[in-house]
Structure 1
C-alpha cells in the first residue's frame, strides 16, 4: 500500500512538471486562501526566491483566517477574491481551501474548487491547487487530502502544488524537524520555507536547490525586510525535499 501511494505521488509530480516544462513561469499570481497561506508571508517568500534567481513573480493575496473556498466565493469576511479574479489582472491563481475540508466536506472542496477554476480559466489564467498537509497528530490524514486534491485537479485541469507530500517526506526523513507552529496545525517559519520551495519549483520548473537560506524583501521606504532566516543545513534539506517530490535535480544552477 505504501509503495502504491509513493507511486501515485511520483505520477502526480510527473504531471505537473510536464505542465511547467512547456509553460512559462507565471508573472502575476493571486493566492486565495487562509492562514496556511499568509502565515510567515508565504506569497512574499515565493517572490523573494524567484527574485534571487533573476525571475519576476509578483504575488498578491486574498486571505482571511479559517476561511474556506465557499466563503471566498460568497464574499464573506469582506473578501473580494471573485471580483479580483474577474478583473483579469493575474496569469495564475492559487486556490487553498480550509485545511480540514478534504476530510470533513470533500464535496464542498470539489464544488467550489471547480467554480473558481471556471472563473480563473475564463480570464485566461492558470489554476494551481495548494495541496496542504496533515495535522501533526495524525499523519494518516495526508492520503485523503492528496486524493481529494488530485481528484479536483483532474476535474478542472489544474496544476497541483504538492506541499503536503513534501511535508510528509520531510517528517519521515527527519521526525524532529520543527515544521509546525506550536498549535501543531499552522506552519512554523521552517514549514513555510519548505512550502515556498515547493511553490518555487512548481511555478518555475527549476530546482529549488541552491536558493538563499535568508529571504529578504524591501518595505515601502526601501529598507530591507527579512522574511525568513534558516540555517544553511535546514534550508538545503528543505530544498532537496522539494526537489525530490517534484522530480527536479539536486544540482543548483550556476549564476
Structure 2
C-alpha cells in the first residue's frame, strides 16, 4: 500500500508545473477606433486572425460606427473609458475617409488633426502604442494628398503611420481581379481588408506574415447595427441575418500581397 501511495505522489508531482516554469503570455490586446472603413469586412477580427495564424497572440476589440469621426470619439470619452477597462497594448486609429483632406473646410480638418493628437496622448498615457491607419482615395492626386496629410497628422501627434492609399492604388492596378472593394464600390472588399491587416502586421511586428488564416467572426457589410461602444471583434453581430459569418484568406493570397508589397519597396 505504501508503495502505491509513493508512486501516486511521484506521478502527481511530475504533473505539477515547476515554480520557475514560463507560462504562456496573454494575448496582446489591440483596440481599433474608427468607422465603416474599419468594420466593413471586420478588420479588427481579420488582423487578430492573421496575427494568431502567424505566431503572434493577439485579441482585438473595437469602437466603431458608420460615418464616425475621431473628433466624436474624443467628445464622448469612449476611447478613454475603453483604455481604462480593456487596457490594450496597441491603439489603432482610423479617421473617416478624406477627413484630413480639408474638403469640408479648414476647420474640419483642423478638428481632425486635434482629435488624432488628443487620442494619441490618451493612448500613450495608458501605456498603449498608438498608430494611425490610413484611409484611401481612388484618384492619384487625391491619394497622394491623403497620404501626405495623414502622415503629417501622425507626425504631429508623435505616433506611427500605416499607409494604405498609395499601396492600394498600385496593388489594385497590378492585381485588378482581386476583390479590393465592397459591392458598393467604396468600402473595403476582402482584398483591401487583408491589405490593411498585413500593413498593420508589418508595422507592429517588423516582418511580413507568411500564412493564410480563417476569420471566425462576423464579416460586416455597410449596414452593421454597430454603435460606438467597446466590443470584442468576434462578438456576435447585432444584425445576424444581415451579416455573413466567417471567411478564409489562403496562403497563396497572403504570399501574393507580400510579393506585391515587397515589389513596391525595391
TM > 0.5? yes
Q: How does 1:15-94 map to 2 (within 5 A)?
A: 27-75=28-76, 80-87=78-85, 89-94=87-92
User: Contact 1:106 / 1:148 at 8 angstroms: preserved in 2?
Assistant: no
Q: 1:100-249 maps to which residues of 2 (within 5 A)? A: 100-103=98-101, 104=103, 105-135=108-138, 138-208=139-209, 210-212=210-212, 214-217=213-216, 227-230=246-249, 233-244=252-263
**Does the 8 Å CA contact 1:31/1:61 hold for their aligned counterparts?**
yes
Matched-pair contact (CA < 8 Å) for 1:88–1:123: no
Are residues 181 and 216 of structure 1, via their aligned partners in 2, closer, same or farther at CA, if it must alter by over 3 Å? closer
CA RMSD of superposed structures (Å): 2.7
Q: Distance in 2 between matches of 1:57 and 1:243?
A: 24
| SS across alignment from 1:61 | strand
After superposition, the C-alpha distances for 1:107-157 in whole angstroms (9 at most, x for unaligned) are: 22211100111111111211100111114xx24321111011111121122
- Structure 2 counterpart SS, 1:40: coil
The structure-2 alpha-carbon separation of the partners of 1:70 and 1:202, relative to structure 1 and needing over 3 Å to count, comes to same
Question: Are 2:94 and 1:96 aligned?
Answer: yes
Q: TM-score, normalised by structure 1?
A: 0.74
Alignment partners' CA distance in 2, 1:146 and 1:158: 15
Runs (5+) with no aligned partner, structure 1: 1-25, 249-255
Cα distance, 1:232–1:145 mapped onto 2, change above 3 Å: same
- Secondary structure class of the residue paired with 1:187: coil
Q: Give the C-alpha shift of residue 166 in structure 1.
A: 2.0
Q: Look up the SS of the partner of 1:31 in the other structure.
A: strand
Residues 239/100 of structure 1: CA separation in 2 closer, same or farther (3 Å cut): same
Consecutive unaligned residues of structure 2, counting only runs of 5 or more, are: 1-26, 218-233, 237-243
**Aligned-residue offset at 1:227:** 3.4
- Partner secondary structure for residue 83 of structure 2: helix
SS in 1 for 2:187: coil
